[in-house]
Amino acid sequence: MLFTIASREFRNLFLSPLAWSIMAVLQLILAYLFLTQVETYMTLQPRLAGIEGAPGVTDIVVAPLLQTVGFVFLLIAPAITMRTFSDEKRNHTLSLLLSAPVSMSDIVLGKFLGVALFFFTLLLLIAAMPVSLYAGTTLDGGKLAAGLLGLALLLSSFAAIGIFMSTLTEQPVVAAISSFGLLLFLWIIDWSGTSNEGVTGLFAYLSLQTHLGSFLKGLFSSTDVAYYLLLTTLFLVLAIRRLDQQRLTG
C-alpha cells in the first residue's frame, strides 16, 4: 500500500513539467560548477605535486561540488515537496486517500518515499559527474561514497520537513516558502556567534550543514547519521499527527 502511494507520487512528479525543468536546470548549473572546479584543480595541480600529503582531486573537485549540491537542494526541495499535501487539499483529492483502507502513516510515508526516490534519482544523475573523473584519474571512493550518503540523508530530512510544511496549508506557495525558511534557518543556525560555549555547541549540533560537512570530509559518524534520521522521523511523525488532528478538527 505504501509502495502504491509512493510510486504514484513519484510518477506524478514526472507528469508535470516542474520535475523535468528542475532536473534540467540542476544539471546545467552543477555541470558548470563541476567544470570550473576541474579547471581550478588543473591550475593548482603543478604546485600540489610538490607538496607532501596535498589534497587530492576528491577534496578539490568532489567535496565542494557536493557541498553546493546540498545548498542547491535547499532551494529546490521546497518546490518539489510543496505539492504533496497542499495540492491534494486544494483539489479535494485527499478524501480519496482518507476513505481508502490505508492508514495515515501509510499515506505520509508513501508520499515521503515517492519524493525521496525522486531526490535520489537527481542525486544519481549528479553523482555521474564525479564518477566520470575515473576516466582520467582515480578518486577516493570512500570519500565520494560518504559524501553521497550524507547528501542522501540530508535530502531525506529536506523531504520530511517539506512534507510536514505541506500538511499545514492549502497553498502550495506558502508551503514552499515556509519550508524554505525552516531549511535555511536550520542551515545557518550555527552562524550565530554567541560567546556562550554550550549554546554555540547546541546550535552547531542543530545545523544541517555541519553534519553534512563531516560526511564530505569522509567521516562516517553515527552521530551525524542519527541526527538526520531523527530529524526525518520527527517531521514525518509531526505530519502524521497533523493529518490525524485535521480529521478531528475538520
Partner 1 sequence: MLVSPSDRQACDSDLTIKQMDTKILIAVENLSRYYGQHLAVDAISFDLAQGEVLGFLGPNGAGKSTAMRMISGNLAPSGGRIAINGIDLLDRARLAKAQIGYLPEQPPVYPDLTVNEYLSYCARLHRVSKAQRGPAQTRAVQRCGLEGVGRRLIGNLSKGYQQRVGIAQAILHNPAVVILDEPTVGLDPNQIRDIRRLIRELGETHGIILSTHILPEVQATCTRVQIIHHGQLVFAESMGALEQRLTGNAVVLETVEPLDISVLQQLGNVGAVESLGARRARLRFNGDNPAAEVAACVSAQRWGLVELALERQTLEQVFVELTCRENNAAVAAA
Nearer to partner 1 by Cβ, of 8 and 241: the residue is 8
Size of the site for partner 1 (CB under 8 A): 23
Scanning 38-46, 50-58, 85-93, 202-210 for contacts with partner 1 by CB under 8 A, the matching segment is 85-93
DSSP letter at 187 equals H
Residue 126's identity, in one-letter code, is I
Asked if 111 and 236 touch (Cβ cutoff 8 Å), the reply is no
Q: Which of 18, 23, 72, 102 binds partner 1 (CB under 8 A)?
A: 102
Residue 124 main-chain phi, psi, to 5 deg: -60, -45
**Rounded least distance, CB 104 to partner 1, Å:** 9
Q: Under rule CB under 8 A, which residues in 211-250 are in contact with partner 1?
A: 247-248, 250
Task: With CA atoms as reference, report the closest residue to 140 among 230, 218, 82.
Answer: 218
Q: Which of 43, 49, 99, 135 binds partner 1 (CB under 8 A)?
A: 99
Scanning 24-32, 70-78, 101-109, 125-133 for contacts with partner 1 by CB under 8 A, the matching segment is 101-109
Cell 497553498, residue? 171
Q: Which of 47, 49, 53, 92 binds partner 1 (CB under 8 A)?
A: 92
Is residue 17 a contact point for partner 1 (CB under 8 A)?
A: no
CA atoms within 13 A on the CB side of 140: 19
**Rounded least distance, CB 88 to partner 1, Å:** 9
Asked if 10 and 118 touch (Cβ cutoff 8 Å), the reply is yes
Scanning 97-105, 139-147, 152-160, 182-190 for contacts with partner 1 by CB under 8 A, the matching segment is 97-105
Nearer to partner 1 by Cβ, of 101 and 198: the residue is 101
What is the rounded (10 degree) CA torsion for 118, 121, 236, 65?
-120
Residue 224's identity, in one-letter code, is D
Is residue 94 a contact point for partner 1 (CB under 8 A)?
A: yes
Radius of gyration in angstroms for the set of CA atoms belonging to the chain, rounded to a whole number: 20
Asked if 159 and 119 touch (Cβ cutoff 8 Å), the reply is yes
DSSP letter at 141 equals H
**Rounded least distance, CB 12 to partner 1, Å:** 6
Is residue 210 a contact point for partner 1 (CB under 8 A)?
A: no
Provide the residue count of the chain: 250
Is residue 46 a contact point for partner 1 (CB under 8 A)?
A: no
What is the rounded (10 degree) CA torsion for 22, 17, 12, 174?
70
Is residue 95 a contact point for partner 1 (CB under 8 A)?
A: yes
Residues at the contact surface with partner 1, assessed by CB under 8 A: 1, 4-5, 8, 12, 15-16, 91-103, 247-248, 250
